[in-house]
Structure 1
Amino acid sequence: MSTWDLDRYLSALDREAAALRASFTLEGVDPSGPVPPCPGWTIGDLVGHMGAVFRRIEGVLRRRSLEPAPAFTNEFPEDVLAFYDSGYTALVDALRVTPPDTPVWNWAPAAKLASFWPRRAATETAVHRWDLQVSINQPEPIEQELAEQGVHEIFDAWLPAGRRKGPLDRQGLVQLVDTEGNEWFVRVRGEGLALLDTATLVPDEHRPQVIASGPASDIMLSLMGRVPFDVLTIEGDAGLLSALRTG
């Protein structure tokens, strides 16, 4: 996994936040329209939700505490665009002024440092940008390198935190391969999962039961439950992939 610095995450966050905003403000977009990937939400709800997410992360960073943050409340005012804009501005300021090694809470079994949150902000915004765009029939893939970071985040934060939505009774080895040659090997043992170090694998001893390949964006979105796994090229036991779904 390559390590991004803060400026690179902020650049990705800015790109995704701007694209989400631009999609919402396109002529003819109905804020009351449905968001199929998020049942029960309207497009306006999605924008308001992101404003609340921005403030949630900002609050965690400003508190500079290892104590668990108050429960997230998905509440927002009627003017969702103003709420979104002001929340984004406040978040970026908090990210810039908080040193990455500052001890702060997060919900994952990961180091409790501020460095957890820039990636989280960028990938969350990217997925919901895609949600909004698919709702208006104009979806654009998540940029390759940010999608790679998103897949890493699923395996080192989401799944280890117990946020699995797939079956818990599967067994086997999964290999994921993106179009840039990045690979992830994941051992599934019922409720347990382990991301394997590709540098130490012995091919004859680690034969995957399924290999799924495609763009990093499709891998990330399928793991997040946004698109079916069959958007990928699959060899082997396709059903095993469902054990990795986290959204």
Structure 2
Amino acid sequence: MTLLAYDRYCDEIAHQVAELRTVVTSGADLSAKVPTCPDWTLEQLVLHMGGVLRWVEVLVRTRAEEDVRDEDIPRGDGPETTGDAAELDAWLAEAGELVVRALREAGPDAKVWSWAGMLGSGFWARRMTHEITVHRADATLAAGLPYEVAPDVAADAIDEWLQLVGLAGERREMERPLAAGRSLHLHATDTAPESNAEWFVEGTEQGVTWRRGHERADVALRGPLTSLLLAFYRRLPLDGSGLEVLGDRQLLEFWLERATFG
């Protein structure tokens, strides 16, 4: 597994914040329900994302050795006025600027607490990149807007998802999503062969292992890379956006129901 460069993550966070701001200021109904996060409206989704960015900014800036309290996160609960797209946009923009500045100043190796046990600013740069990448998809679905993501970011998001699912399994924080000896394969159909945008995931007695590459599995999910990412995050149905399931569909559905790190 090869991570993206630290500066690439910082740049992508800034880019994704700008793209999410475009949704906020598009004229979309902020009270609209988010189909992929049905407990949230579009405004609540943006408040969640901006609040998480501000939380991480405090963690990184203070080199926190443990989690921080909500009351220690400046303006973490949102702007003063609800339902105001301009205020929400400004609040989100500030959140993005703060977290990117904190990450750049810290560099990739600063020791910072994390819930995953990975004590470093590098963990948070990567995690925030993919947190906002996926939640921006939620926002665009709610607003009826198109969604695109760079191939290297989409592929790294799948890598990170599999890594975190594996960690959760080791800690027995979830029901085993893949029985020992069972396997699944992801295959991006719109990338060059040298990008190696394929994944083989296997259940073992110890948990879930994975690696990049083309290998025969009990079930395969094929389709455009962005669609693979969103389906793996349960943002798209398995029959949508050019996706194709080959083999044991129930095994894949079982995985999607149980694979999580939250």
Report the more deviating stretch, 159-168 or 143-152: 159-168
Residue matched to 2:162: 155
Contact 1:130–1:142 at 8 Å: present in 2 too?
no
Structure 1: unaligned runs, 5 residues or longer: none
Residue matched to 1:227: 236
Contact 1:144–1:215 at 8 Å: present in 2 too?
no
Report the more deviating stretch, 135-144 or 113-122: 135-144
Residue matched to 2:49: 50
Residue matched to 1:94: 102
Helix, strand or coil at the partner of 2:183: strand
Report the more deviating stretch, 237-246 or 165-174: 165-174
Given candidates 127, 147, 155, the residue that maps to 2:134 is: 127
Distance 1:228 1:108 in 2: 28
Contact 2:33–2:40 at 8 Å: present in 1 too?
yes
Helix, strand or coil at the partner of 1:64: coil
* 1:188 CA drift (Å): 2.4
Residue matched to 2:209: 194
Helix, strand or coil at the partner of 2:209: strand
Q: C-alpha deviations, 1:79-99, integer Å up to 9, x for none?
A: 432321221111111011002
Residue matched to 2:63: 64
* 1:127 CA drift (Å): 1.1
Structure 2: unaligned runs, 5 residues or longer: none
Q: C-alpha deviations, 1:150-191, integer Å up to 9, x for none?
A: 001101124423598887474511111113242211112589
Residue matched to 1:15: 15
What letter is aligned with 1:90?
L
What letter is aligned with 1:233?
E
- TM-score, normalised with respect to structure 1: 0.84
Distance 1:95 1:44 in 2: 26
What letter is aligned with 1:221?
L
Helix, strand or coil at the partner of 1:22: helix
Residue matched to 1:238: 249
- TM-score, normalised with respect to structure 2: 0.80
Percent identical residues: 32
